[in-house]
Every structure is written in C-alpha cells, then in structure tokens.
Chain A
Amino acid sequence: MTYDEEPAYQNDGDFHERLIADVLAAYPDKSRKRRQKHLSTAKAVDAPAEAEDAPALTECDVKSNIKSIPGVMTVRGCAYAGSKGVVWGPVKDMVHISHGPVGCGQYSWSQRRNYYIGKTGVDTFVTMQFTSDFQEKDIVFGGDKKLEKVIDEIGELFPLAKGISIQSECPIGLIGDDIEAVSRKKHKETGRTIVPVRCEGFRGVSQSLGHHIANDAIRDWVFDKREVEHEAGPYDVNVIGDYNIGGDAWSSRILLEEMGLKVVGNWSGDATLAEIERAPKAKLNLIHCYRSMNYICRHMEEKYGMPWLEYNFFGPTQIAAGLRKIAAFFDATIQENAEKVIAKYQPLVDAVIAKFKPRLKGKKVMLYVGGLRPRHVVNAYEDLGMEIAGTGYEFGHGDDYQRTGHYVKEGTLIYDDVTSYELEKFVEGIRPDLVGSGIKEKYPVQKMGIPFRQMHSWDYSGPYHGYDGFAIFARDMDLAINNPVWGLFKAPWKKAA
C-alpha cells in the first residue's frame, strides 16, 4: 500500500555533488582527503534479479564508523553516551552510576525522555543523576574503594533498587581501576546484580562502541546469572531497541498486543531488570534500533536459537509492512489479527493524511540523526507527500548505509559524521523546508529561517511510533513548517532592498 499517488520526486544529484565539492574545498589537504570519503549521493542500482527481499532503490556508498577529525566540530558523542545515555540509562529499577567526574552524568541527566512508570527515587531511578563525583585524590589513588562505598550507600538509601550498573567515564580506564573486581565482590556480598560497563568516552569513535559494550555487559553480567521464573507462551516477543522516547514503546506495544502478541520485554525504555533477564525465553526478538542493539540479538540467536526481525513503526506504509512481517512469523490467527489492526487504524491514517498532506506536499526535508532514524523516518515523511533531499548518520556503520539504500531516492545527498561546517553549507545550498536533527543543530538552522524539528527527543513531543504516534508526527511537522514566524525574519524596510 502506498499513500503516494504523485509521481516519485527527483533529487538533483549533480547539484548535490557540487555542494560536496564546495565544502571539501574549505579543508586543509589532509582533512579533505579524509572527509571526502564520508560524503556522497545515492546512486541508482541495477535491481538484483532474484533478491530475497525487495531490491534496494539506491546505493549509499560512504565510509563510516571511522574516527572523527580533530577540530572540525563533529556532532558525535562518546561511548559513555551510547551506554549510559542510550542502552542502560532507561532500565528503570536499577541505579546507574556515572563513575568518574561529575560532568558526564550532569549533562546527560534526564535528557533522553525515556518515559517510564514508577516512583522515582523509591523504586525507579531513571531521571536521577548518581555519580561518584571523582576528586583529584580519586584519580591519584584510584577509585575502587570509593566505588565500593558508593555501592554500599546506594544499598542503604535505595533498598528497592534491583541492581546497579557502573558506567565508566574516561578516567576509569586510564588509572587502572578494577571495577569488575569491585562488582564481583559486591555481588557476592549483597546478591544484587552489579554490572560493570567499560564505556569510557575515549573508546571507539562515537556513541556506537558504547552500545556494543553495553550489549556485551548484558550478555556477560545479566544473562544466565539468576533463576528466571517465567511461564513462556507461544506469542512471547521482546521489543529490542525502543527507548520509549516520549512514549514510543507504548504506542508500539499497543499494536503488538492488539494483534495478539505478548511483549515480555521492552529494551530498554520503561524496562525492568526482570524484563532483561527473561528475554531469552521469548519466541522472537523484534528490533527497532538495529544500530544500538543488533549485537545482543545476534548473541541470543547464537546462544538460545532465538530469531530476530527488523521492523519500522514510523508512518503508515512502514507500520503496515512491519505488522505483516511480524505476523508472518506466527500463525494464521495472528496474521488475520494484523490485517484487522491495519484496517482498524486505516480511517485514522486517511484522516491524518487528508488533513496534513495538502499542507506538506512537496516540502523538502534534510535529516541528520543517530542510529535508525536517518532511514526509518523517510517513508513517514513520504506518506505525507514530503521529500527527503539529504540524510546521514552520526555513528552509522556500513550496514546502516546499505539499509538506507532501501529508503532513499537517487541523488539524495548522503553525509556521514557531518561537521557543523558541512551541514550549514548543505542546508544553505539546498534550503530545505525542514531540517530534522539534534539540539546542537536546531538553533543555527532556525537562525537561517529554516524550520527545524529535533529528531532525537521529538522536540519534547511524541510519541512518533505507531499509528497514534504518526498523527502527532504529522501535526508536529505541519506546525514547524507552517508557523507564521518564518515570514517575519526580514524587516519590512529591508524587503525592497
């Protein structure tokens, strides 16, 4: 099913290539050589004759997952951000210690909007900042003793915390602390789950390695450590890589439940430690953010024989495809249910598109986001008649760009680990009707008179997943683009000039 009765739009690939040449000209030689491998346009592909899945539309061939160049203003974060900020931070009934100096935990405190239900500070701890607040003496003499005391104090003051994770900041790995030994000792003493995570910010090239390290910590410090009481059912699934930003996991879960599945674990938005522990007992892993959690899915496949399946719950085209793909794994009843769910929401979809498409048709969008959204939201925009002119990943890998080819049109500008300089020039050149990126990009773009939505935090709105979320997504894109403020930028006495 498609909502795009218009002829497919075209991107001007030649123009985009010229923009790339222009930005590269500004770099010193050494950096230009490195940056040029990260910038390209989507190229046409010859459809493979007997492809198992639908063939890719384009090829997005850029280098990725490589060190950022010093001094260019990369937008990227670090491994700690990937582990504490993304994977572990949302696990609600555990305390996550930002282990090291105060800043990392302070700047990331409550910024991801991982919604959860609980009594914060009593049985849940997501929107709190726990830190060992390293001082000079901890650097000089080591922080292991302090960490032990920190764990003891958490035990006394937060007795309902089900576990503790230790999120390493840069100094930990540099001063030779043995947080694994502390974890084993304290686990032995208390019986509590304690997870050391070696996500020091200097490791790897971006948030991405932090995701991987965080996944490995689940494998090594949570799985098969305790007896799990769980009555397995035939329709048990885990949702993996949905962080419940603005409630995304809830507006997804409601659809899965409606089609008769039972979500026994949601990783990691609104998750409890019990949901992590029992995950291997489910029938199927459904993965939304492939980038941040494919590792643990592959592990569960190898170790427990659990299959996994990628899906996309942004926009009605992908939601319907996703529901059918998921249902195909189960029996005829589930498949019929999936069709019923799609049919149930069709009037809502039609009404949303009827309301917003006339206001959004033909509007050009540029995206620059993190793990899955640079491709996953493409069809949601297209469902509203909008066009994607450029997209790129902060911390994508080759497999992300390969998957992107299934979404974007020929000529689309592709930029990996884009620098602020490049993004500004691209936006200036293309002058899209909307840019979707992060807080650091928001204000420079808006100053240029171009509407903007934060596509990490949903700009404090959401959810955007599922059918209920699509209505909010459509409304938000409309209110961003069609607000009168964009018409007020030029003083009237300047217009004549």
Chain B
Amino acid sequence: MPQSADKILDHAPLFREPEYREMLARKGREEGMPSNEETQKVADWTKSWDYREKNLARKSLTVNPAKACQPLGAVFVAAGFEKTLSFVHGSQGCVAYYRSHLSRHFKEPSSIVSSSMTEDAAVFGGLQNMIDGLANTYALYSPKMIAVSTTCMAEVIGDDLQAFISTAKQKGSVPADFDVPFAHTPAFVGSHVTGYDNMLKGILENFWKGKTAAPGTAINIIPGFDGFAVGNNRELKRILDEMGVEYTILSDVADQFDTPSDGEFRMYDGGTSLAATAEAINAKATLSLQEYCSQKTLEYAGAFGQKIASLHYPLGVAGTDELLQTISELSGKPIPDSLEKERGRLIDAMADSQGWLHGKTYAIYGDPDFVYGMARFIMETGGEPRHCLATNGSKAWAEQMRGLFASSPFGAECQVWPGKDLWHMRSLLATEPVDLLIGNSYGKYLERDCNVPLIRLAFPIFDRHHHHRFPVWGYQGGLRVLVTLLDKILDKLDDDTIEPGVTDYSYDLTR
C-alpha cells in the first residue's frame, strides 16, 4: 500500500508507486490506443523537416496560440483607473474566464461583472441586461467608474453600447453624470493588445471628448498590456520621479494587482485618478511603451495637439536608453547622474558575465513589443534570438524585427514569425534547435517536447509565483533579466555535470 499517514504522497510520487503503475498498464491495454511503435513513428515524424513544412503551410487551424482576445486587454487596462469596475456586455462565461486568467497570473483578486446575456437577449438584444446590470453594479460595488466592453456575442448581434448606456442613465441605473466609458471589443478582431487600445481610447474619450486641450508641462505614459506591470510600473514611476518629470500613467494597475494582506479585501486599490485622467488632455505629450497596445489611443491623443511617441517594451540597455532619452526629450528634463550610474552598473554586470552569454541562441515568443524588446537585449548580451514569434504580430512588426536583426551581427541568422503559433514553434525548435526559450507558462510544453530550457518572462505565468512583482524594465529590470538568464544557464550546467565520478570534474565551484 503506497499511502501512509507518516509520509503522504500526492499525485506526483503516488502514481509512480508499483500498484498504480500496474493499474495504469492494465488500463493502457484496454484503451484502444495505437501501439508504442506506431506512436513513436509519428512522434519522430512530428520533429522532422517534412512535418515542419506541412505544419507551416496550414492556413485555417490554430494550435496553441500565444494570444488572447480583446476583452482581456480591455478589462486589464480598465483595472488601472481609480475605483473602476469593468462591466463586460455579453455572455457571462467570458468574464469568469478573464477573472480566472488574471487571478492565476497575478495571484490576486480580479473583480469584473457581466451583463449575463442569454438566449432571449440574443434574440431581443441586451438593452435590459445593460439597464439592470449597471444598476446592480452601482448599488453593490460602489465603483467611481464603470468601464463597459463587449464579448463577441454582443458584437455579433450588434448591440449599441452608446445608445444602451444612455438609455440606462435615463432609466436611472446610474446617475446621469456618472462615468461609464465604453469600447466595442470584438474577440474576432485583433487580440488582447487591441482590446487594451480600444478600451483606453474609450476611457480617454469619456473625459476628453468635446474639450479643447490647454497644453501644460506634464506627459502621459501608456505602459500597455504587461504581465509584469506591478514591478514595471513602480520602476517606471521611480525613474520618472528621479528625473523630476510631471507625469500621468494611463493606466496604472500596479496597486490593483498587488494589494496587501492585512485582513481587508480591497476590491479597488490605487490606479490613475479620474481627475488626473481628465486633466491628461492637457499633457504636452503622450508616450506609449508598447506601440501595438496603443495605436488608436496615440492617434487620438495626437488629435489634441499632443506630441506622441511609442517604444517597444523598454528592456535592456538600448531599450532603457531610448526610454530615458525619449522622456527627456518630451519633458525637457535631463537624465540625472543617478540613472547614468545605474546604467553603468548594468553594463558592469553584463561585462562580468558575458562569457556565459555570448553565442547562446534563443527562441522568443510573446506580444509583439515584448518580443522586440527582449530580442534587442539578447543581442546586447551577445546572444542570438534565432526564432522570434508573435501570434498577434503583424507584417509591419515583422519588418521592424528584420530591421532590428540587421542592426547587429548577432541578428544575422535570426528569423521572425508573425501570426504563427506555438505548434509552429515546436517544429522550429525541433528542426533548428536553440539553447534557450523565452516565453510564458505555455512554453513548458515546448520545454518538454523539444528539451529546451524555458525562461518565463511574459504573460501569463501560472506555474511560477511572484515574478511579476519585480521589474524587467529600466536598468534595474535589465539586471534582473540578466540574472534570470544566467541562473537558468548555470543551473542547467550544474545539472548536466552533477554525476559523481562521471561528469563532476566540471561541477565547478566558481563559474
């Protein structure tokens, strides 16, 4: 009997005990599964160039994509405003999914409501759901703002948010002057980064529409959809404070997704104040840190006479240099010595460790801006980002990536894969292997199938805890990414050399 009260075995060891192995073997004989030989033959074929060509030729099927749908981005960006509750108009199951997805990554509450539309609403429209829903949300959860976005169901039947919200206000669901920004966020267009853009624009429209800007001295900064927002936004604010810049972050989820445990559940915490959001019309510039999360929003901000600029996830040396220089240029504030010193410390660390990083090859996937920023840093360490993939990456993004590869000898053998998924990546890794894979938790299946160590640096990270609490942006963040890469490389080297009397001559004390 494998189990005992003294040493309780859970699933991982329990099912390796002889009783269970025998049971599973008996079950295996009754399952009608293919023979081991047949399975092995197909398994080998899936790693071949022949399979790769067929796989890359597929046009309709998507397998293991690295993207989510628009409303996820919409509820994420709305969470970064003061006491704002997202209200997603459409089927309710979607909202259960966004909440679970965000909670599993941040290990935090995620509060979002749905208008719970069902079959009758599909026939007659969801107006009554909007009227009742806004009233209930307002009464139960006392938000300062309700940000409305849509599921694909509401989009397919063509519900008109502007008209519905205005009717709901007439019916007294919420006060007439209560802020109810909205955005149509169809899941069948773009991805979560598109939804971030649409909802942010909807929120700014709520406060800015019909107004004239009186340009001041502050700048607006849009962080974009970012699983590391908790650490990154705080690092960003530290840098801005260090520079003495007046700024408004649109939107800041850092506190909302990092509430303390002290006995009180805070449904809302931190976020950009509604007053600051309204005032942000008067900024002299709006800077986006992720181009593909903010194209429409930047255009909108530009229409008010603001200067606009966008970056690609400011990670690493040049990424951070560009961040500081752009902020300095837009704000007129110089880059202080303190930050230059931080830069020097990052370079110092990179120089100390360059021997372990030079020539390493990588595959990187994630959102387009992340992949760009990450690949740029890898090349700064002497690494080669051989496969760069974004399921939600466009042709324009691919061109930018090719430009990046062309800027460095370390980009010579690198390829970009826009619109491809992680099953494509499996073929790439099987036929053209690399030393390390950078992505999110879904990458663990590639780690298993292709025997490539996974470094988790992108959203979502479900199977490791708290990484998002530390920044990857800025020189400090660069240091943290550098250590993450080195730890993976050196841990693997130790694992590979640990066998006593066989390989442990290489199990060096100092590396």
> What's the Cα separation between A121 and B61 when bound, in Å?
14
B354 interface hit (Cβ, 8 Å): no
Residues of B within 8 A of A247 (CB): 11, 14-15
Q: Which 7 A-B residue pairs are closest in the complex by CB-CB distance?
A: A78-B93, A274-B32, A70-B133, A103-B69, A71-B133, A107-B97, A351-B5
B119 interface hit (Cβ, 8 Å): yes
B337 interface hit (Cβ, 8 Å): no
Cβ-closest chain A residue relative to B259: A447
Query: Which residues, 408 to 467 on A, are CB-close (under 8 Å) to B?
Result: 419-421, 424, 438-440, 442-449, 461-463, 467
Which residues from chain B sit less than 8 Å from chain A, CB to CB?
A: 1-6, 8-11, 14-15, 19-20, 23-24, 26-28, 30-34, 38-39, 42-43, 46, 51, 54-55, 58-65, 67-69, 71-72, 87, 90-94, 96-101, 103-104, 107-119, 121-122, 129-130, 132-137, 139-141, 151-153, 156-157, 186-189, 191, 259-267, 423, 426, 442, 445, 449
Contact: A73 with B141, CB < 8 Å? yes
Cβ-closest chain B residue relative to A125: B63
Residues of B within 8 A of A461 (CB): 10-11
Query: Which residues, 334 to 358 on A, are CB-close (under 8 Å) to B?
Result: 344-345, 348, 351-352, 354-355
Fill in one digit per residue for A189-214: 1 if any B CB lies within 8 Å of its CB, else 0: 00000000000011111010000000
Contact: B59 with A149, CB < 8 Å? yes
Contact for A348 among B5, B69, B96, B445, CB less than 8 A: B5
Residues of B within 8 A of A122 (CB): 39, 42-43, 46
Which residues from chain A sit less than 8 Å from chain B, CB to CB?
A: 26-28, 30-31, 67-81, 93, 100-104, 106-111, 115, 117-123, 127-136, 138-139, 146, 149-150, 153-154, 156-157, 159-160, 162, 169-171, 173-175, 201-205, 207, 246-247, 250-251, 253-254, 257, 263-264, 270, 272-275, 344-345, 348, 351-352, 354-355, 419-421, 424, 438-440, 442-449, 461-463, 467-468, 471-472, 474-475, 489-491
- Cβ distance A497 to chain B, nearest Cβ, rounded Å: 13
Residues of A within 8 A of B92 (CB): 68, 74, 76-78, 201
Cβ-closest chain A residue relative to B96: A77
Cβ-closest chain A residue relative to B154: A170
> What's the Cα separation between A134 and B139 when bound, in Å?
37
Contact: A70 with B116, CB < 8 Å? yes
> What's the Cα separation between A173 and B119 when bound, in Å?
10
Contact for A174 among B104, B114, B156, CB less than 8 A: B156
Residues of A within 8 A of B115 (CB): 70-71
Contact for B263 among A103, A175, A246, A489, CB less than 8 A: A489
Contact: B94 with A202, CB < 8 Å? no
Cβ-closest chain A residue relative to B101: A107
Contact: A149 with B61, CB < 8 Å? yes
- Cβ distance A110 to chain B, nearest Cβ, rounded Å: 8
Contact for A203 among B1, B42, B113, B118, CB less than 8 A: B118
> What's the Cα separation between A337 and B132 when bound, in Å?
58
Residues of B within 8 A of A474 (CB): 8
Contact for B58 among A27, A129, A157, A257, CB less than 8 A: A157
| Residue among B19, B62, B130 having the largest count of chain A Cβ atoms under 10 Å | B62
> What's the Cα separation between A257 and B265 when bound, in Å?
47
Contact for B118 among A31, A204, A344, CB less than 8 A: A204
Contact: B62 with A102, CB < 8 Å? yes
Contact: A136 with B122, CB < 8 Å? no
Contact: B97 with A421, CB < 8 Å? no
Cβ-closest chain B residue relative to A103: B69
Given contacts A93-B33, A103-B97, contact A462 B10 (CB under 8 A): yes
Cβ-closest chain B residue relative to A254: B23
Contact: B10 with A472, CB < 8 Å? yes
Given contacts A26-B139, A93-B33, contact A103 B71 (CB under 8 A): yes
Contact: B28 with A447, CB < 8 Å? no
Given contacts A73-B112, A104-B97, contact A128 B28 (CB under 8 A): no
Contact: B96 with A75, CB < 8 Å? yes
> What's the Cα separation between A177 and B122 when bound, in Å?
16
Residues of A within 8 A of B90 (CB): 170, 202
* Given A130-B63, A447-B263, A447-B264, 16 additional A-B pairs, CB 8 A: A28-B136, A72-B137, A74-B92, A74-B114, A77-B97, A104-B94, A109-B64, A123-B39, A136-B186, A157-B54, A159-B42, A202-B121, A204-B118, A205-B118, A421-B141, A443-B109
Residues of A within 8 A of B101 (CB): 106-107
Given contacts A71-B87, A106-B67, contact A170 B5 (CB under 8 A): no
Given contacts A70-B136, A468-B2, contact A174 B122 (CB under 8 A): yes
Given contacts A69-B116, A202-B119, contact A133 B34 (CB under 8 A): no
Contact: A157 with B55, CB < 8 Å? yes
> What's the Cα separation between A129 and B471 when bound, in Å?
30
Contact: B116 with A203, CB < 8 Å? no
Residues of B within 8 A of A72 (CB): 113, 136-137, 140
Residues of B within 8 A of A102 (CB): 62, 65, 67-69, 187, 191
Contact: A149 with B60, CB < 8 Å? yes
Contact: A31 with B39, CB < 8 Å? no
> What's the Cα separation between A246 and B103 when bound, in Å?
20
Residues of A within 8 A of B64 (CB): 109, 128-129
> What's the Cα separation between A250 and B27 when bound, in Å?
10
Cβ-closest chain A residue relative to B126: A70
Residues of A within 8 A of B46 (CB): 121-122
> What's the Cα separation between A275 and B110 when bound, in Å?
39
- Cβ distance A317 to chain B, nearest Cβ, rounded Å: 17
Contact: A78 with B113, CB < 8 Å? no
Residues of B within 8 A of A160 (CB): 34, 38-39, 42
Residues of A within 8 A of B261 (CB): 446-447, 449, 489
Contact: B3 with A471, CB < 8 Å? yes
Contact: B265 with A447, CB < 8 Å? yes
Cβ-closest chain A residue relative to B129: A70
12 A-B pairs (CB sep. < 8 Å) = A69-B133, A69-B136, A70-B115, A73-B114, A77-B97, A134-B188, A153-B59, A154-B61, A202-B118, A419-B140, A440-B103, A467-B3
> What's the Cα separation between A203 and B33 when bound, in Å?
34
- Cβ distance B144 to chain A, nearest Cβ, rounded Å: 16
Given contacts A119-B39, A128-B63, A440-B100, contact A71 B135 (CB under 8 A): yes
Contact: A443 with B11, CB < 8 Å? no
